[in-house]
Structure 1
Amino acid sequence: MQNPLFIQLIADYGVGDPAFNEVIQKLTSLNPFVQVRATSVPDFSTLATGFWTAQYSLVNRLENLIVYTNVDPRTEKKESRDKNEGSKFALAKLKNGALIAGVNRGYCFSLVKPYITAFHLANVANKGSQFRSRDFYPEAVIGFANGDQKFIDAPLEVESIPEVPINRIAWVDGYGNIKTSTRQSQVNFKRGQPLQIALNGIKRTAYFNDGTFNVREGELAFAPGSSGAADKFMEIFLRGFSAHKEFGKPKVEAEFTVTKA
């Protein structure tokens, strides 16, 4: 028996916002057997969207998985928009078979860029509703997952997707650990080496380690975290406390620097 379609829905509606339920209800009306899980990211954060798009599609990927994202800051134009027009909806297939359907904006596709084998515009309306992710996009998501070619439009250049910026906050977990956009392969420090992290106007001493718990309680670590598959993303971790609070609760996408102490 074929596994049911599984959708990871990523959007910036807000935690507990009924908009998630409206979109899930629409998806379910199109496929009564679909399973949907929702993740709320900070307002307009395409980096957080890209981070979770990569984590869901590359780590422990489920069969029949499609990641459906809807984050579109719409900040590139200051003028009024015709019929709530926004960035275009795009469809991607990865080397491992995972499918991604999402607004092609900012870093939404950046973290899966090396794994994309097919990248197209979706044949779907991008204006005419304030709530495109409920009114227009679900048909394309379900159709794409079912292999319906009518939703696949013009090809897009994978190289047009922006590269992932390093030394940015990609996510803050429930413990206050700061997940960054920097890969383990992008740093070159020695185990136990003292470092200075500057973030949100605050400077603190941290220690580079191969595991976040390889510091004493109350010490900061800059170490590979739990996300990122084979090449882990670095985390800023304050053992026993919240690194996020220690740095004054910076926003996701904030930049930081790491230098030798």
Structure 2
Amino acid sequence: MLMHVVADYGPGDLAFAEVRQQLARYLPGADVVYTPMRPFDTLGAGFCVAQLALTPGPPDRLIYCNVAPRADSDAPRPDNEGERLLAARLPNGTHVVGVDAGYVFSFLRNEAETLTEIVIPPTGSQFRSRDAFPPLLPDVLNGDAEQVGTVDAADIPAPPERALVYVDGYGNLKTSWSEPPAPIGSVVTLRVGGVGAEAMISDGTFDVPARTLSFAPGSSGWTRKDGTEVRWYEVLLRGGNAAEMLDHPEPGTRISVRA
């Protein structure tokens, strides 16, 4: 079984090693792949979860996501309680298990066949993704996990429109734009938060001269449950780093385009 872990433990951090150890205990045959997130970045996590879950791959996939800022309440948390744990099953057979924090399930809210809240046995642990969640995963996969009930998609926030959702390792800015904002070949003013720059609208990220900023359909996208295809636009600096050029914007930053 292929298992993706999307979490904001730092790369090489002890936290990931400890979680991996528990996953090997409860799912010993899993091939685990780790995708690190910025601390508390639920929007980037939700985007990555959807990209991994909704694109072609083996049907026996499990996406395990833990980005849990415990921001659902400012009150003291008895026994280190946190956000609820949800499990989704997608039409392609993929399972997603993760904490319902921020935008973690936003890109999946209309794509899941089932979306349920899972009962979390009390542990008192502040490290729930190591101590409380791994023992539940085999039962989730087998359909035997104890459930609180079904979750209404309307209770999950929609992802922000026309915003930055993820910054990849090359500094490309993946966005929630899915349509061209101007005719192909147009030069526009692209504003990312408080920083503006000229960019060319293109139908391919490299279909611009070197050192030119492009706004084009990127490598991320998937087939929706209704059969429609979505391709997310990226801001890319050919031969450079768009994130550096635009002052390292964070996920959630508004992206506007002016002809």
Is the pair's TM-score, using the shorter chain for normalization, greater than 0.5?
yes
Tell me by how many angstroms 1:126 deviates.
Answer: 6.4
Give 1:225's aligned residue: 218
Contact 1:70 1:103 in 2 (8 A): yes
Q: Residues 91 and 152 of structure 1 are in contact (CA less than 8 Å); yes or no, is this contact kept in structure 2?
A: no
Structure 2 CA distance for aligned equivalents of residues 6 and 111 of structure 1: 21
The residue number in structure 1 matching 2:167 is 172
SS of equivalent residue, structure 2 residue 113: strand
Give unmatched runs, 5+ long, in structure 2: 223-228
Residue deviations 1:201-248, cap 9 Å, x none? Answer: 211111111101111111111100000123111100111111101011
Pairs aligned (count): 253
Q: Which amino acid aligns with 1:52?
A: C
Name 1:195's counterpart in structure 2. 188
- Structure 1: 5+ residue stretches without partners: none
Rounded to whole Å, the distance in 2 between the matches of 1:127 and 1:189 is 53
| 2:68 aligned partner | 72
Please, what is the CA RMSD of the aligned residues? 1.5
**Alpha-carbon deviation of 1:199?**
1.7
Question: Is 1:178–1:236's contact at 8 Å kept on the other side of the alignment?
Answer: yes
Q: For 1:170-229, what per-residue CA distance to the aligned partner results, in whole angstroms no more than 9, with x for missing partners?
A: 211221111112223xx4421101111112421111111110111111111110000012
Q: Determine which structure has the larger helix proportion and give its number.
A: 1
Q: Tell me which residue corresponds to 2:251.
A: 252
Inter-partner Cα distance in structure 1 for 2:149 and 2:81? 19
Counterpart of 1:55 in structure 2 is 51
The answer to whether the Cα contact below 8 Å between 1:89 and 1:101 also exists between their aligned partners in 2 is yes
Q: TM-score, normalised by structure 1?
A: 0.92
| Amino acid across the alignment from 2:185 | G
Amino acid at match of 1:77: S
Distance 1:105 1:82 in 2: 18
Identical pairs, percent: 34
Q: TM-score, normalised by structure 2?
A: 0.93
2:5 to 4, 9, 17: 9
Structure 1 residue 127: Cα displacement:
6.0
Q: Is the 8 A contact 1:165 1:181 kept in 2?
A: yes
